[in-house]
Amino acid sequence: MHHEMSAAQHALHLILEEAAKRGLKKVKSVRVIVGQTRALEEDYFNRAFEEASKGTLASGAKIIFSISPLKAVCSSCHKEITPASSLSLSCPFCAGTDIEIVSGQELLVGDVE
């Protein structure tokens, strides 16, 4: 669960930043948006987050875990495609291989309350 731990620490950092900006004393719940390609396990992530957030104002926060699907845009024909994986990318419309991933790799937090 190594990458869950580093993802949890990164998410915690974003949450504390957001909480500070909004002057929150305690974080009760937060949405964590995780790109599909990060392949995080929700259970592992929750446990890692619990561990990482101990002693912070996000300790005990309820995590709403959402997966953001992989999406890409072809640089040749500009169509949006939804590849099954980020490993073998080619455009199903023009067979171009110059593909730009636009979502599915992110780690974001939202709805910090």
- When binding is defined by CB under 5 A, the residue of 77, 108, 110, 113 that contacts Zn ion is 77
At its nearest, how many Å lie between Zn ion and the CB of residue 110? 31
At 6 the three-state DSSP class reads helix
Size of interface with Zn ion, in residues (CB under 5 A): 7
Q: Tell me whether residue 6 or residue 76 sits nearer to Zn ion (CB atom).
A: 76
Beta strands 29-35; 62-68: pairing state = parallel
Q: Which residues of 83-95 are buried (b: 16+ CB within 10 A; e: fewer)?
A: beeeeebebeeee
In the complex with Zn ion, the residue whose CB is nearer, 26 or 79, is: 79
Examine residue 91 and tell whether it contacts Zn ion (CB under 5 A): yes
* Site for Zn ion contains 99 (CB under 5 A): no
No. of helices (H) and no. of strands (E), the chain? 2, 6
Residues that bind Zn ion (CB under 5 A): 74, 76-77, 91, 93-94, 96
